[in-house]
Structure 1
Amino acid sequence: MDERPQRRSLAAMIICCNEADRIEACLQSLADWVDEIVVFDSGSTDATVAIARRYTDKVWITDWPGYGPQRNRALARIHSDWVLYIDADERVTPELRAEIDKALSALQLDITLFRIPWRTYLLGGVLRHGRYATPQNRLFKRQGARFREHQVHEQVVLPERRVATLRQRLEHHSWRDYPHLLRKHRRYAALLAQHKYEQGKRSNMAYAWLRLCTDFVQQYLLRGSVLDGWRGLLIAATLARYAYWKQVDLKQIEDRHRALDAPALLRR
């Protein structure tokens, strides 16, 4: 008789849009392993939805309210004890599957959140150091969990936060090519600038230039991207520009609002 403890139930949660070229590899890494796969698509015009439906009947097509709100919509459809939130450009390796199974089969489990390191690929090679090699909050206990209602860089909030870090890595194929790398960071910068504006924060262009320099030094030297050769240089430069773009976009939002407010002020 097999007396090994049974793994706690596990769901995979994916939000996506126009990921037909990447989502199948993600779903293949989850198939016949997790207890449920929940997919929320925000209006794909390619074959993303058709591919997802080959792996799960839990597929919803919605509008796009932002990353945090969309993840909360998907979370509300999950019934399993634990949730792995994963993007279409990520893959669970057999080694990571085995480590998660072992963790979720422990007789005594007081952890509520597991962090999983990334193995991020950039233009045919791996980023082994810096921001894109760090552990991510990806596997959590569902009961009482929610995501912050942020447009980007949302984080999961738990009623009790007890954290452990797994050793095996989550495969991360974030960028199709160099233009996609730039577009993605540019879009995130614009979303974060809007979020900052709504919080009452305002731009500072002197600070923007300072962040351009300090973020490069931090990523390239202090966080070790220099050890990744030309790819490390490329990602450090991109992240430095990302920090700069957030301030530039915030300044543009301020200027637009001033222009809209000016006629009203003149009429007073």
Structure 2
Amino acid sequence: MSQLKLSLVLITHNAADQLAACLDSARDLVDDIILVDSGSNDGTQALAEGYGARIIAQPFLGFGPQKRLAVSHALHDWVLCLDADERLTPELLASIRRTLQGAPTHSAFRLARRNRFFGRYLGHGEGYPDWNIRLFDRRAANWTEDLVHEYVRCQGEPGSLQGDLLHDSAEQIGSYIAKQNRYTDMQAELLFKTGKRVGAAKLFTSPLARFIRFYLLRGGWRDGAAGFAHIAIGSFFAMIKYAKLMERWRQHDGR
């Protein structure tokens, strides 16, 4: 039985040090590779071209719009969206291949992402299973327009695939914190534009609720120091997001 044609879709910026492993993990599965790049100067584009990828140069529009643009350039309706620091395990690759044999039972499928942090792959808390819809029929699903924390909205319930999507971010703690700082800048600005206001109590309840949920209820403590650091940093930036929003309103109100 023939497999449905599949396009691999990526957005990149200076991802040359991780992109090859991502493409190697999926190259035998896909029929088309489209990469939308926002000004890389480290050889990312040349590396991708070596894998037969088609390159679209596009200044960064925000995560959701950038990914929607990439999906629109795919040759096939079924797309697999990956980040450069992600790779398919053999079990997940086999699961995708089985799913695309004949008629898939859903218009979209979610993958269990396993995040690497502090030198180890997390197995609990918010680090695993970090479910993400990444395989879908673009006629019935697509990325939202959110500039940050975008997600795939689909018709009906998504299916779930076996196997892990390894998120092999090799970031140092400093660069991880810098990234979270940038994300909370964007989140706070989006909340401000929608008219969202919060009180001081939110600065306390938001990080506390996040820590209890992921560290205690979802077993993040089982991942040792890595699990604690991952969840503690996430909880801290849950507070920072709202602190930045409050600051934005004070500036707006002239206080």
Give the TM interval when normalised to the shorter protein.
over 0.9
- Amino acid across the alignment from 2:165: L
**1:169-197 CA-partner distances (Å, limit 9, x unpaired):** 00101341111221122221111111111
- Amino acid across the alignment from 1:195: L
Aligned residues of 1:116 and 1:165 also touching (Cα < 8 A)? yes
TM-score where L is the length of structure 1: 0.90
Structure 1: where are the runs of 5+ without partners? 263-268
Q: Kindly indicate whether residue 132 of structure 2 is the aligned counterpart of residue 172 of structure 1.
A: no
Which residue pairs with 1:195 in the alignment? 190
Which residue pairs with 1:254 in the alignment? 249
Aligned residues of 1:8 and 1:81 also touching (Cα < 8 A)? no
Aligned residues of 2:110 and 2:132 also touching (Cα < 8 A)? yes
**Structure 1 residue 253 displacement after superposition:** 2.0
Which residue pairs with 1:28 in the alignment? 24
- Choose which of 54, 67, 71 in structure 2 pairs with 1:71: 67
Q: Kindly indicate whether residue 11 of structure 2 is the aligned counterpart of residue 19 of structure 1.
A: no
**Structure 1 residue 213 displacement after superposition:** 1.7
Aligned residues of 2:91 and 2:162 also touching (Cα < 8 A)? no
Structure 2: where are the runs of 5+ without partners? none
**Structure 1 residue 258 displacement after superposition:** 3.1
Distance 2:170 2:193 in 1: 29
Distance 2:159 2:112 in 1: 11
**1:9-63 CA-partner distances (Å, limit 9, x unpaired):** 1111101111121111111212232011110111112221121111134111111
Which residue pairs with 2:89 in the alignment? 93
Percent sequence identity over aligned pairs: 34
**Structure 1 residue 144 displacement after superposition:** 3.9
Q: Give the RMSD, CA atoms, in angstroms.
A: 1.6
TM-score where L is the length of structure 2: 0.94
- Choose which of 81, 84, 88 in structure 1 pairs with 2:80: 84
How many residues get paired? 254
- Choose which of 101, 112, 115 in structure 1 pairs with 2:110: 115
Aligned residues of 1:38 and 1:56 also touching (Cα < 8 A)? no
Which residue pairs with 1:151 in the alignment? 147
Distance 1:68 1:122 in 2: 24
